[in-house]
């Protein structure tokens, strides 16, 4: 876990290190379970040419995408969606990088989608 706290704090007996990236502190080996239940996507290898300067980036803008199903902090299912995202890119099925028009309805719909955390991977 990487954080930007003002001061380092011990979590579950672990003190943070100083990473060489944009975060101030990094915790390794916390061995903590969360109360989270649901699914979460994790992604890496961002495709720079697909960057949209507004809201969150779509899952299909990453080369590696994993969906985790979590129940009481335990991962119950793991799906590698990387090939699905590649197919979407090849077929032109990715989300729009701009609104359909400058009309208020189209613009509002596009902005809401860019800031939504609800991602459909199909």
Beta bridge partners of 46: 62
**Domain assignments of the chain as residue spans, ordered by start:** 1-32, 33-114
Whether the pTM exceeds 0.75: the reply is: no
* pLDDT tens per residue across span 46-101: 999 888 877 778 888 899 999 999 998 899 999 999 999 999 889 887 777 778 78
Both structure tokens of 57:
């980036």
Residue located via tokens 């007996």: 13
Average pLDDT, stretch 8-26? 88
pLDDT of amino acid 80: 97
The tokens of 47 are what?
């495709």
The two three-digit tokens of residue 53, written as one number = 């300067």
The alpha helices in the chain, defined as continuous H runs, are 82-91, 104-114
CB atoms within 10 A of CB 67: 18
User: What phi-psi label fits residue 92: left (phi over 0), alpha (psi between -120 and 50 degrees) or beta?
Assistant: left
């Amino acid at each position: 876990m990487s954080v930007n706290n003002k001061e380092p704090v011990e979590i579950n007996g672990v003190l943070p290190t100083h990473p060489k990236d944009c975060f101030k502190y990094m915790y390794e080996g916390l061995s903590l379970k969360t109360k989270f239940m649901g699914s979460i996507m994790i992604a890496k290898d961002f495709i720079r040419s697909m960057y949209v300067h507004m809201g969150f980036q779509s899952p299909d803008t990453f080369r590696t995408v994993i969906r985790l199903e979590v129940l009481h902090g335990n991962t119950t299912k793991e799906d590698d969606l990387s090939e699905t995202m590649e197919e979407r890119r090849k077929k032109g099925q990715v989300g729009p990088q701009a609104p359909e028009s400058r009309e208020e309805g189209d613009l509002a719909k596009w902005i809401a989608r860019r800031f939504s955390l609800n991602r459909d991977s199909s």
